[in-house]
Structure formats: structure tokens, C-alpha cells
A and B are shown apart, each in its own frame.
Chain A
């Protein structure tokens, strides 16, 4: 696995011939990119990636990002379970659900969800503190974990599809709620985390109007100076 979460100077990142090995894309080191391995989508026209290729890409990106964020920031090992694809709504109807928007050549939502007990454990590991109930600090910590997980998924997939933007996360905590996403299929990757269930899922659809505002107040970064 590549060494993500690296701390390096910007000038280092520009240099070629560093001990990171060859550069895979412009001047960024390979270790910021995908692991080695077969990547059937490589070399394809970025905008012509099919939904199936995107799903395959998402599965790898979610697994890699989640494992890395939990391992590095939380010191927690997670184990990926059987991946599924589902239309309509994310499954959870109670607990903690964190959502973050993605926009660009593909657009949609990334989500991380778990029960309140696991949310407290994750937050405790991140903050080196102990939480017995979901409070503002727990919600903030879960939002940040989601930002890191989905943010790294975004970084991995935009190498193939082009620049994408990320919204700030929204976290929901409660019982007997339902969520609905209009259109698209969710790629759902369940993880075992501290003996509890954690779900990371992403729903992306091709942006047929790439280059114009895809959502009110949500500008395609390719045409907005990648801000």
C-alpha cells in the first residue's frame, strides 16, 4: 500500500527522482495516488468512464481511504465486508449518518454511518477522550472523519475523472428517520470496526452538464479555478 498521509514540503512534491520513485501524474509522487495493481480504467478517456467502471473505482477508493484514515488518525483497524450496490436510500434509519456532497464531471454524495456507540468510540479515538453519549464534539469528530474518508475517495477518483469539489459535511443523529437520494446507485462498503458495523457509501452519477452549475451554489471546480 502506498504511504498516504505523508508530510512533505511542497517543494519536495515538485521534485522528481525522490525516494518516492517515479511520478505517476505530473509532479506528485506515486504514493499520493493509488496502490499498484491492475487499474482497467487507466488510459481511458476520463469523461467516458462507465457506471460499472466508476463503481469498481469507488470500491477500491472507499476501501483504501477508510482503511488508511482509520489506521492513521484513529489507530483502528477496519475490515471490509461484502460490497453491495443499492438504488434509492442509504440503509440506516437510526444512529449517526454523515453526508458530504461531491461535484464535478460526476456528482453525488458520500456517506458514513454507524450506531451511536461506535460514533462515540470513533470520536474517542480521534480526540483521545471518552464519550458516553453523542454530543456536539462527537458529531464534529464524525464530520471530520467523513471529510477525511470521502475527501480521500475524491482525491483518488479525480485522478481518473478530473477535478471534483467537496462540500462541507452534514451530520444527522436520531431515530426513525429516512433519507432519500434522487437517482443513482449507492456503492455500499460495510466495515467491521471495533466489533460494530460501519458503512461507507458513495452515490455518483455522470454530470451531463459538466461545466455549468450542477447545483445551486455548487460550482464545477473545473470551470471555477478549482476552488
Chain B
């Protein structure tokens, strides 16, 4: 089954890199959607069904933690695995993401292999 993925990052550069990594990963990919912040991500989820979300934490308008919280509070979306990909390496942020139900955490800088490994572990 092909996986539809939502990439959430205010940096178009990082979204492009993640898209490239996903294309290289040995997982069947369907549609890749993009959002520039948490609000855009929630709007995208209303219109599109996705199987996986890769999200930054530090973003304008709505950050990744707030977005994760909204996703896990929604019955239709709460089962979607969300992997946080961010420079936020503080213990408080990691614990907050854990308590909200994040499926994984990858710290920037990352390598393509690290993203692939995380995807394999979750999918």
C-alpha cells in the first residue's frame, strides 16, 4: 500500500530535503503533501487523508507541539503517526512530544539514513 505523507516545516528547503529522502527510502510512497506551519497542516488534513506526518516543532502561527496536540485530540486523525524532526533537542520538548503521543523524534542535523531508519521502524 502506498503511503500518503504530510510534511510540515516552515522551511521550504527542509521540505524539499525530506521529499528527496522519502523518494530514496525503501517505502512505497503515494502523495506527498506539504504545509508551512501547524495551521496549514490541520487544513491539509481536513482535505486529505494521510498515513504519516513528519513535522518541525519551531514554526510560526502554530508550532509542531500545538499541531500534535490538535491531531491527537481529533478522532479521525489521532492514529496517524507523527514524527517530530527539529532542532529542538531540549528534554522538555521531547517529553512534551512523548506525552502528546508523537511516534518518534529525529533531531536536526539528520542524515538520510536516519530518516529511513525511523520510517522503517514506524511503518
Contacts and interface: CB of A to CB of B under 8 A. Distances in A.
Interface of A: 4-11, 13-14, 25-28, 32, 68-69, 71-73, 123, 126-128, 137, 140-141, 143-144, 147-148, 151-152, 154-155, 158, 163, 166, 168, 226-227
B91 to A, nearest CB: 5
9 contacts: A13-B94, A25-B91, A73-B108, A144-B11, A144-B13, A148-B108, A155-B89, A168-B60, A226-B96
A72 B11 contact: no
Given A5-B114, A9-B104, A73 B109 contact: yes
A122 to B, nearest CB: 11
B26 interface: no
Given A144-B11, A151-B58, A6 B98 contact: no
Contacts, number: 116
Contacts of A140: 11-13
Nearest to B99: A10
Given A14-B98, A143-B11, A7 B58 contact: no
- Tell me whether chain A's interface is mostly helix, strand or loop, or mixed: helix
Categorize the interface residue count of chain B: 35 or more
A158 B94 CA distance: 14
Interface of B: 10-14, 16-17, 20, 58-60, 63, 65-66, 86-98, 102-111, 113-115, 117-118, 121
Nearest to A70: B109
Given A10-B104, A73-B109, 18 more contacts: A6-B106, A6-B107, A7-B107, A7-B118, A8-B104, A10-B102, A10-B105, A13-B94, A27-B91, A69-B109, A71-B109, A73-B108, A144-B13, A151-B87, A155-B88, A155-B89, A226-B93, A227-B65
B109 A7 contact: no
